[in-house]
Copies of this chain bind each other. A is one copy, B any other.
Amino acid sequence: MSDPVRVTVWGENVHEREEAHVHALYPKGMHAAIASGLAASLGERVRVRTATLDEPEHGLGRSVLDDTDVLTWWGHTAHARVSDAVVDRVQEAVLGGMGLLALHSAHYSKIFQRLLGTTCSLRWRNEGERELVWTVDPAHPIAAGVPLPIVIEAHEMYGEHFDIPPPDELVFISSFAGGEVFRGGCCFRRGSGRIFYFSPGDQDYPIYHHRDVQQVIANAVQWAAPVAGIRGAVPGSPESQVGWFERADA
């Protein structure tokens, strides 16, 4: 048996406390709902904790990150309040092998922009339209066990152009009732880390209670976990003498 994947679910936790209709959907916060979904889907294969913006160091001190295989990130209204020092630390952890799931409006989070290098801008409209999430890579582990398409009865529209680098793997494309499309399930490899962006998850809708969305997130956590649970340090640029690799201790 392999060890459980150690997941930290990070939530901004602002809308849930300040807006009644969001609180009604997520009384313990969106992070709690995401964590519950993971525990329900993966059982003993996962060990889940949560962290939020208002905790010291946003709940992401070094000891937490060192004990995390995969970090999920949801933020929206308070991206600017995330400290650059924490972003530095999370970037370092990802490059060293920690997986990262950027959820919905995390497209505009500091950490996502930092890792991708682009604006990550997009079109949007919040009118509760039907979203269909189409798998375009049926053999991808992140798409395992989900229907074609996933039907989300009402959601915010995110549309192209989505200003991201070409994804290393494209798993899902969404369409909306208004006709827009969106590359809403994208994999990126950066350093030793794997990053998955998944667009469903606006705070105004019960998306994280949706069984298929929970399945995708559970799949993605397993996909993003570092190989054999091993995480390394971020490499420097070593000077390397001729034949360095022939030494016994190379």
Task: Known A166-B169, A173-B160; judge A235-B139 contact (CB<8 A).
Answer: no
A240 adjacent to chain B (CB < 8 Å): yes
Q: Can you list, as one digit per residue, whether each of A230-242 has a CB less than 8 Å from chain B (1) or not (0)?
A: 1010111111111
CB of A3 to closest CB in B, whole Å: 15
A147 within 8 A of B: yes
Establish whether residues A108 and B237, one from each chain, have CB atoms under 8 Å apart when the complex forms: yes
A246 is contacted by which of B117, B151, B165 (Cβ under 8 Å)?
B151
List residues of chain B with CB within 8 A of the CB of A85. Answer: none
Select which of B116, B168, B238 is within 8 A of A117 by beta carbon. Answer: B116
* Known A166-B170, A179-B175, A237-B108; contact A136-B123, beta-carbon cutoff 8 A: no
Contacts of A108 in B (CB 8 A): 237
The B-contacting residues of A in range 167-215, CB under 8 angstroms, are 168-170, 173-175, 177-181, 183, 188-194
Evaluate contact between A136 and B162: CB separation under 8 angstroms. Answer: yes
CA distance A25 to B245 in the complex (A): 27
Cβ B237 vs Cβ A124 within 8 A: yes
Closest to A142 in B: B227
CA distance A250 to B148 in the complex (A): 8
Q: Is A37 an interface residue (CB 8 A)?
A: no
The docked-state distance in angstroms from the alpha carbon of A134 to that of B134 is: 16
CA distance A194 to B137 in the complex (A): 12
Knowing A127-B242, A132-B179 touch, does A139 contact B237 (C-beta < 8 A)?
no
Question: Which of B125, B138, B159, B226 is close to A192, meaning CB atoms less than 8 Å apart?
Answer: B138
CB contact between A250 and one of B127, B147, B165, B250 (< 8 Å): that residue:
B147
Residues of B within 8 A of A39 (CB): none
Which residues on B sit within 8 Å (CB–CB) of A157? Answer: 240
**Which one, B97, B138, B240, B246, contacts A159 given CB within 8 A?**
B240
Does A226 lie within 8 Å of B178, measured CB to CB? Answer: no
Q: List A residues at the B interface (Cβ < 8 Å).
A: 1, 91, 95, 97, 108, 114-119, 121-125, 127, 130, 132, 134-141, 144-145, 147-149, 151, 157, 159-163, 165-166, 168-170, 173-175, 177-181, 183, 188-194, 226-228, 230, 232, 234-243, 245-246, 250
